[in-house]
Amino acid sequence: MVTYVDAATAPLKNNGQIRLHGAEDFEGMRKACNLTARCLDELVAIVKPGVTTEAIDRFVFEFGADHGAMPATLNYRGYTKSSCTSINHVVCHGIPNEKALKEGDIVNIDVTYILDGWHGDSSRMYPVGRVKRAAERLMEVTHECLMRGIAAVRPGAKTGAIGAAIQSYAEAERCSVVRDFCGHGVGRLFHDAPNILHYGSPNEGVEMREGMIFTIEPMINLGRPHVKVLGDGWTAVTRDRSLSAQYEHTVGVTADGCEVFTLSPAGLDRPGLPAS
Ligand code: MF3
Ligand code: CO
Ligand code: CO
């Protein structure tokens, strides 16, 4: 049986209990998540052919430092970068390096800032110059998956409703849902209970309650869903080398739905795609 605890008084470790947050916690998350969204906004003008993912990562570190925030990924379980940069067939956890982006690439940039102890976790896809129609369509489908997942969030429903909404849309569009990675509770911890699966059925998972805070971050492939992790221990790629896309928001469950904490203040939630 899953148990729910008051985030204000529960010990700060992931023991499987689900934290319920109050108004002050939501305010803390708004600030951290807004900083992450503003960083992802700034990156729209930075991502272009010739730029290295290392330069992008440096910007993420500096922007955080300028605003009193630390990247949560830095020294997290041995990871040594301020962001994840996942290009083309890389599903997630791509490690920034000195290789330049090239025209036609699509890259996911995933940033989590810690501000005043609160974690703001979000990612978007960035087309590099002009990209193929198939790549653009995959990004559109994946963003729509995220938004349909978010639309399923409300108290009383189960987390499986999120996965069901995502899976049914992705597969109707002849795409596949990655099973090996999921969304997660977030707040004062980076990765907390519960897991948010991006597939499944509405009667699975745990009941959503007001005050829960978690991410939804579907990874959608043009080909088959299977992934493998490269020898660096982080980089996850599609086994069939098909293109993969991902968008991520952090949301808080409200009395009648949810608040999306990581929305772009500039309306740049889907860079390079027509405004939704
Ligand atoms: N930000 C990723 C997420 O959405 C986690 C990255 S962990 C890292 O949960 F160590 F790979 F950076
Ligand atoms: Co996340
Ligand atoms: Co993330």
- 200-242 pLDDT, tens digit per residue, is 999 999 999 999 999 999 999 999 999 999 999 999 999 999 9
DSSP 179: -
Beta bridge partners, 177, equal: 220
CA 171 to mean position of chain CA atoms: 20
Q: What DSSP letter does each residue of 207-237 carry, written as one string?
A: B--TT-EEEE--EEESS-S-EEE-TTSS-EE
| Cross-strand partners of 245 | 220
Predicted local confidence at residue 274, as pLDDT: 83
73 lines ligand 1 (CB under 6 A): yes
Report the residue among 40, 53, 86, 190 best suited for mutation to probe ligand 1: largest number of ligand atoms under 8 A from its CB. 190
Architecture of the CATH domain 4-10+17-260: Alpha-Beta Complex (3.90)
- Return the bridge partners of 78, or none: none
**The predicted structure's pLDDT at residue 244:** 99
The rounded distance, in Å, linking the Cα atoms of 213 and 23 is 12
> How far, in Å, is the centroid of ligand 1 from the Cα of 181?
10
Pocket test for ligand 1, best of 76, 213, 232 (most atoms within 8 A of CB): 76
Distances (CA, A) of 92 to 28, 35, 109, 180: 27, 22, 9, 10
Average pLDDT, the chain: 98
pLDDT in tens, 111-134: 999 999 999 999 999 999 999 999
What tens digit of pLDDT does each residue of 3-16 get? Answer: 999 999 999 999 99
Share of residues in the chain with pLDDT > 90 (%):
99
Q: Which two tokens stand for residue 69?
A: 């925030």
The model's pLDDT over 171-194, given as tens digits with 9 standing for 90+, comes to 999 999 999 999 999 999 999 999
What is the pLDDT at residue 210? 98
Let me know: does 3 contact 17? Beta carbons within 8 Å: yes
- pTM (predicted TM-score): 0.98
Query: Contact at 8 Å (CB) between 21 and 187?
Result: yes
Q: Report CA Rg, the chain.
A: 17
Assigned token pair, 256: 């009648």
Nearest atom in ligand 1 to 110's CA: 1
Q: For the chain, what are the domain ranges?
A: 4-10+17-260
Q: Is 199 within 8 Å of 225 (Cβ atoms)?
A: no
Q: Is the peptide bond before 202 cis (omega within 30 degrees of 0)?
A: no
Going by alpha carbons, the residue nearest to atom 12 of ligand 1 is: 73
pLDDT given at position 251: 99
For residue range 53-109, list pLDDT tens digits in order. Answer: 999 999 999 999 999 999 999 999 999 999 999 999 999 999 999 999 999 999 999
pLDDT mean over 253-274: 97
